[in-house]
Amino acid sequence: MNLDALYSELTLKPAAKIAMVVLDGLGDIAVKENGYLTPLEAAHTPHLDALSKLGAQGRMIPVAPGITPGSGPGHLALFGYDPIDYQVGRGVIEALGLGLDLQAGDVAARANFCTLDARRIVTDRRAGRIATEVCEELCETLARKIKKVDDAEVIIRAGKGHRFVVVFRGKGLQGPLTDADPHREGLPIPSAAPVDPKSAKAKKTAKLVAGFYQQALPLLAGKSPANGFLMRGIAHQPEIPLFADRYGLKAACLAVYPMYKGLAQLVGMTKIEGPQTIAQQFERFHAERASYDFFFIHYKYPDMYGEDGNFAAKKKAIEEFDAALPVLTRQMPDVLAITADHSTPAPIKGHSWHPQPVLLISEWSGWDKLDRFTETGANQGSLGVFEAKHLIRLIQANARMLDKFGA
């Protein structure tokens, strides 16, 4: 019997209010240059310390041993979906990051302007890194002139610098396609082709992409330096079972950055708009408490400063989070998980494979005799080291919404 089917069979109606608080990229490593402390260990965190005396700890493998996840797989695992079974293309993630409301079946591509010579050979893959304003102008030109390719709607949205996103919305579309990108200069733009040559839907999609190039390239002719563009990560938004159906939980997203709202929306969470700071997000949790069972609360900054390799700023971001915590704990959620989608160690300046720490608090979590919430402490927690995709099941158990299995 399939484990997901068993969980579904055991799922009861929720009577608890659940908060999953994600400090993006929280996990770190203890190295000499930082005095063998992680930012979480070095930070002054009186409120997290107090919470650690109420809960169980552990560490979570974001995807599989040694695998460094992007934000997509990291969050899908937190939402309880195996990130290897549910892969979301880069185009889709980029579109979500730009705040586009994608629908299942939409095909999205990351695109960027480039420079072509007279023989349509790519001479600069980033078109001299044009300014964002130039990119916006070019995208507006394209969007004004190209509404449809064949029977599919086309949506174009400018990103930062030379980057933009193209979405095709129509019936019977499917990715993935190979990249319309030679990945180095000196070559022409290859056609995007179906990765699965037997897929009729992918063939149709490849024809759409070719049609888009046919309409768009003439509109850029004569522009300089951006007279061409490349498309990568062309794939459709996959069908993902809805969070509400899978866990019996009505869920809301309290995130500030569009990509995380988009990832929550992918699984059918309601996006709550407005809050800009973590304190405002916590306030809003209380305001919306009656309307939802589950709240995904996202805090971006540990990841941002981890990516910068800025230990001090990452530590400070954690302290600022800690300072806001009393707003949340004014009325405790019945089940509270504080964790990360992955580690972003400052010494690595990027996401990593290191298991992120997790603190799980409920009336039934028990206390692991740990006085702080840290990576080193979490190693000794009762939750052990486990795959992040299982966290949601532990949360359901603590919400007392998983029935007993067998007599």
- In the region spanning residues 177 to 216, those forming contacts with a second copy, defined by CB under 8 A, are none
With respect to a second copy, which residue has the nearer C-beta, 56 or 324?
56
Residue 6, SS3 per DSSP: helix
Residues 84-123 vs a second copy: string with x where CB under 8 A? xx-xxxx--xx-----------------------------
Name residue, tokens 């990841």: 303
**Tell me, what amino acid is at 280?**
Q
The rounded distance, in Å, linking the Cα atoms of 195 and 7 is: 34
- Residues 23 to 52 in contact with a second copy, rule: CB under 8 A: 28-31, 36, 38
- Residues 355 to 374 in contact with a second copy, rule: CB under 8 A: 355, 363-369
With respect to a second copy, which residue has the nearer C-beta, 160 or 364?
364
The rounded distance, in Å, linking the Cα atoms of 202 and 172 is: 9
CB of 117 to a second copy, least distance (A): 30
With respect to a second copy, which residue has the nearer C-beta, 85 or 140?
85
Residues 6+ apart with CB under 8 A from 342: 25, 27, 62, 68, 69, 74, 351, 352, 356
**Tell me, what amino acid is at 183?**
H
Q: What's the chain's length in residues? A: 407
* Residue 69 preceded by cis peptide, ω within 30: no
Name residue, tokens 């330096």: 225
- Residues 302 to 341 in contact with a second copy, rule: CB under 8 A: none
CB of 312 to a second copy, least distance (A): 18
The answer to whether residue 404 forms part of the interface with a second copy (CB under 8 A) is: yes
The answer to whether residue 55 forms part of the interface with a second copy (CB under 8 A) is: no
Residues 6+ apart with CB under 8 A from 312: none
The answer to whether residue 393 forms part of the interface with a second copy (CB under 8 A) is: yes
Sheet of 384-387: strand order equals 270-271, 251-254, 294-299, 18-23, 335-339, 356-362, 55-61, 384-387
The rounded distance, in Å, linking the Cα atoms of 308 and 301 is: 11
Residues 71-90 vs a second copy: string with x where CB under 8 A? xxx---------xxx-xxxx
Q: How many CA atoms lie within 13 A of 263 on its CB side?
A: 31
The answer to whether residue 6 forms part of the interface with a second copy (CB under 8 A) is: yes
CB of 352 to a second copy, least distance (A): 7
With respect to a second copy, which residue has the nearer C-beta, 119 or 404?
404
CB of 147 to a second copy, least distance (A): 27
- Range in contact with a second copy (rule: CB under 8 A) among 116-124, 220-228, 310-318, 390-398: 390-398
Q: Which of 352, 358, 361, 373 binds a second copy (CB under 8 A)?
A: 352
- Residues 215 to 234 in contact with a second copy, rule: CB under 8 A: 233
Neighbours of 67 (CB within 10 A): 14
